Homo-oligomer: A and B are copies of this chain.
Amino acid sequence: MTTRTSTTTADPAGTPTASAGVRVTSTTLADGRELLYFDDSEPYVSGAATRRLDDPRPLPDRFAPDADGVVPTGPELRRDPLTGEWVAIAAHRMNRTFLPPADANPLAPARPGATYQDGEIPAEDYDVVVFENRFPSLLRVPGVLDEVTLRDDEPLWQTRPAVGRCEVVCFSADPTASLRTVGPRRMRTVIEAWAHRTAALNATEGVEQVFAFENRGKEIGVTLHHPHGQIYALPYLAPRTATMLAAASEHRARTGRLLGRDVLDAELRHATRVVLESEHWVAYVPFAARWPVEVHLVPRRDVPDLPALDDAERADLATTYLELLRRLDLFFVDDDTAVPLPYISGWHQAPARQGRDDWRLSLQVFSVLRAPGKLKYLAGVESGVAAWVSDTTPERIAARLQELA
């Protein structure tokens, strides 16, 4: 039985501590994964030594050889020769000897006094927790060289280790909560966690992009209802990010201006699709919205990513984001009852190492729900050639969100 536990207060060189009185405590799970507590108020429940427990589970070291002596090599990236895009092949998962009972909630805090721990979080209570995903699509395995090699000596078959990191962000210890219901104080802590992780992961060797996102709702395949999001630190620019960066760089070269700024200014000039304005933030339905419901939330000031937001912008974001989520959960009504919106939300942040001056932070929230019980499916044209067809108009989406003000 391997139980390694080391606890450090945060603030390693190069990674900022969180602001707004949030205390960050880093610890290590039994298999070596990192877990960070983000406590937002006295008595700093999860970070406090009296409440913080070591991980008692008999998890094998994730980098140790398996029973057959095979050393895990981690997930792989393969270059699709037809598109030039990297695809993660994550079938070679790490040791999966330990699995919690099927009915257990792995994101719940440890049960007080329990001798056995079902889930991932050793503390008996917490505010916000971030930890490395146990079965990651991206993972840096010690000793594995981060370089491109050719499979079978074929020039078109390029492969490299899928270094990077996949993290889980628990928004609340309450499994019945959702991000919409956590309140502004806790939302602020989530923002601090996103900003902290973005800064830390951007500074990590080999990371090209940090994408923080939330999938919510069984309609998009979420099986774990505990409120949580994810963070992917990718060792390459995702295809859509690369496309967005190319458009922003082209706009800069042609006009000398920031594309995101000009997009926002145009939306504010006409206001047709602006759905929400606060002191520091603006939400609008984009001119060419592709999804049945889609909103972009952007800061008024030009900033590349979440770590660049100042204190006032973060505080305002907490309440503005909650208001946006409130309206989204009222968007569809079925038989006089609001239908909680299944959604995907993602922070489009500046890449870690390139194009940062051309990028402007934005949050994209979108849904595949067309109407109560009706989904937009990504069929032939979308999934086959990425040609998009919307069955509604951006102006209709905006009008609905405006009337919910």
Contacts and interface: CB of A to CB of B under 8 A. Distances in A.
Interface string A243-281: 110111010000000011011001001100000000000
B385 A82 contact: no
Nearest to A266: B154
Interface string A187-222: 000000000000000000000010101110000111
Interface in A351-387: 364, 366, 375-381, 383-387
B221 A82 contact: no
A91 interface: yes
A348 B84 CA distance: 16
A332 B373 CA distance: 27
Which 5 pairs from chain A and chain B are nearest by CB?
A221-B377, A213-B380, A238-B385, A346-B384, A80-B288
Contact of A156 (B91, B221, B287, B289): B287
Contact of A82 (B214, B244, B384, B388): B244
Contacts of A79: 288
Interface stretch (A20-28, A177-185, A301-309, A389-397): A389-397
A239 interface: yes
Interface residues of A, number: 79
Given A78-B394, A221-B379, A238-B381, 11 more contacts: A82-B244, A85-B243, A88-B388, A91-B393, A137-B381, A211-B380, A213-B381, A215-B379, A222-B379, A240-B384, A348-B384
Contacts of A244: 82-83
Contact of A288 (B81, B137, B248, B393): B81
A219 B279 CA distance: 44
A331 interface: no
Number of copies: 2
B221 A386 contact: no
A225 interface: no
A286 B82 contact: yes
B221 A387 contact: no
Given A247-B81, A379-B221, A387-B234, A392 B288 contact: no
Interface string A79-115: 1111111111111100000000000000000000000
Given A81-B247, A156-B287, A266-B154, A380 B346 contact: yes
A257 to B, nearest CB: 11
6 contacts: A80-B286, A80-B287, A80-B290, A82-B286, A209-B385, A215-B377
A17 interface: no
A87 B392 CA distance: 12
A344 interface: yes
Nearest to A214: B380
Nearest to A229: B380
A230 interface: yes
B78 A288 contact: yes
A38 interface: no
